[in-house]
Structure 1
């Protein structure tokens, strides 16, 4: 195990050095499991041992513990709690969405589609499920369906730069020229939100090093910085991927994972990106 960890560390350092040779790459300290989450898990685990809980209360406790497990990266334990909670109370759109994200992350796409459809049947305005279903369709190579789904999500807030980036990434698989044209048009209407800098970097309107400095502006603490860099390195990895620079893309996806911001979709989908790179490399052997 020590040898495996050492190899992983050296591989990551090698990729980071190669990635950063001509670029500036800011870092943050990886987040640690909060004391509050650990106490919550312990407290709920103790309460769940009681025999006098109503099904409704037990379902809520399982849901809460599952979300606490999710926040500290224990996703398999979270999935077990979500499933148990849904057995007791199947009318929980948010849990179907979280299960859908879990199944997307491990490339179980049919299960993911079923989960997201269930979430949206229960709550048609669940925008997280709407976005995540589009992303699952994208990773499942159902690009036209993914585009139709992400367009609905995007139409709810056309000024959101992260929605614009997902629209671009998905539309790029269907019509690259239109995807870039649409992104350029949206960028002309940008507001003061920091993530528009990511759009500028993606388009080449902002030099990468300058953009990465701008992205850190106004960050007050390490938690905020880790969250922002998780998003930044994921979308930067997608930019390199589109350019065909897989070494840098992999380095950026690893960086997106390195801050332990487990509840951000960019952390979850960076893991999936690395799985797809690995599977692709195995197919070429």
Structure 2
């Protein structure tokens, strides 16, 4: 495996090197986007899936043990992108033991991805009823309300989530995204104020990029400098491309947004919400462009 790691490291450095802008590139832009090697299922993940599958065939398992194994295998399926299989295991686990808030949270995310928002709200409500302090269900419920068009409730939910940790850059980003839908100037002012009091968490680089306080080139240089391992680089680039795509989308630069969302999903970081919701954002843009095209055609036909 050493030779593979060496080749992977060299390839990562080569891909990163392509990010350097040429003399003809505009200031703050890159010729080729910074890349990482897309993540692949690890030997441990494959072995654990096979092991749990074998154990689940036993007929003498206690119900609570079977429910736990189904949950664990579902998590492994989810981590390698097999979401339908993961969802099947999660549902079977809930049939045995319905008091599992983490499963309800994941199911809520799945329903949000496919636009089944009522089902998503029910799942998040169940998760929070079982575990009122589940911060992931709180955040994901606010995001689902945002995507589901319930703006007032989304803003109320994300504000309540944000005040629990005002130094969390990702809470600040989602507060900005949701608030900017109706009040873009106020949202930017609020995020800029938060940015002035930032700490050392790396996510504030994403906030700076969203605010255009740093160039894209400098932001990616900071990400690359702090992400020497390929897995960490893939994770951070997934987040960076998603939020940069959102910035361009909010500016109605749909061509750039589409390209960036595609980059966000290219690294196979299946467990990150930025990977999951990039697909949803692409669908939102597609529907918006289709509606605009239909409106133009109708106007031309009059």
Question: Same-fold call, TM > 0.5?
Answer: yes
Q: Secondary structure at the match of 2:75?
A: helix
Please say if 1:156 is aligned against 2:164.
Answer: yes
Residues 104-148 of structure 1, C-alpha deviations (whole Å, 9 max, x = no match): 011111000000000000000000000000000011111111111
Q: Secondary structure at the match of 2:225?
A: coil
Residues 221-246 of structure 1, C-alpha deviations (whole Å, 9 max, x = no match): 10010000000000000000111100
Please say if 1:29 is aligned against 2:69.
Answer: no
Q: Distance in 1 between matches of 2:289 and 2:170?
A: 29
Q: Which residue of 2 aligns with 1:245?
A: 253
CA RMSD, Structure 1 to Structure 2 (Å): 1.5
Q: Distance in 2 between matches of 1:196 and 1:225?
A: 16
Q: Distance in 2 between matches of 1:141 and 1:215?
A: 33
Q: Which residue of 2 aligns with 1:93?
A: 101
Q: Secondary structure at the match of 1:152?
A: helix
Runs of 4+ in 1 over 6 A off after TM superposition: none
Please say if 1:129 is aligned against 2:129.
Answer: no
Q: Distance in 2 between matches of 1:223 and 1:208?
A: 21
Within 5 Å, which residues of 2 pair with 1:211-222?
211-222=219-230
The answer to whether the 8 Å contact 2:223/2:233 transfers is no
Q: CA deviation at 1:175?
A: 1.5
Larger radius of gyration: 2
Decide which of 25, 43, 50 is 1:42's aligned counterpart.
Answer: 50
Please say if 1:202 is aligned against 2:210.
Answer: yes
Q: Which residue of 2 aligns with 1:191?
A: 199
Q: Secondary structure at the match of 1:216?
A: helix
The answer to whether the 8 Å contact 1:150/1:166 transfers is yes
Q: Which residue of 1 aligns with 2:288?
A: 280
Q: Which residue of 2 aligns with 1:57?
A: 65
Using structure 1 for the length normalisation, give the TM-score.
0.91
User: Which structure has the higher relative contact order (CA within 8 Å, separation 6+)?
Assistant: 1
Using structure 2 for the length normalisation, give the TM-score.
0.86
Q: Which residue of 1 aligns with 2:266?
A: 258
Q: Distance in 2 between matches of 1:63 and 1:204?
A: 41
The answer to whether the 8 Å contact 1:62/1:81 transfers is yes
Q: Which residue of 1 aligns with 2:118?
A: 110
Q: CA deviation at 1:214?
A: 1.4
Q: Distance in 1 between matches of 2:150 and 2:157?
A: 11
Q: Which residue of 2 aligns with 1:12?
A: none
Q: Which residue of 2 aligns with 1:225?
A: 233
Aligned residue-pair number: 267
Q: Distance in 2 between matches of 1:100 and 1:63?
A: 15
Q: Which residue of 2 aligns with 1:4?
A: none
Q: Distance in 2 between matches of 1:226 and 1:80?
A: 28
| Stretches of structure 2 lacking an aligned partner (at least 5 in a row) | 1-21, 295-302
Q: Distance in 2 between matches of 1:282 and 1:214?
A: 37
The worse-fitting range, judged by mean Cα deviation, of 20-29 and 216-225 is 20-29
Q: Distance in 1 between matches of 2:53 and 2:38?
A: 27
Q: CA deviation at 1:51?
A: 1.0
Residues 84-106 of structure 1, C-alpha deviations (whole Å, 9 max, x = no match): 10010000000000000011011
| Stretches of structure 1 lacking an aligned partner (at least 5 in a row) | 1-19
The worse-fitting range, judged by mean Cα deviation, of 172-181 and 122-131 is 172-181
Please say if 1:120 is aligned against 2:106.
Answer: no
Q: CA deviation at 1:157?
A: 0.7
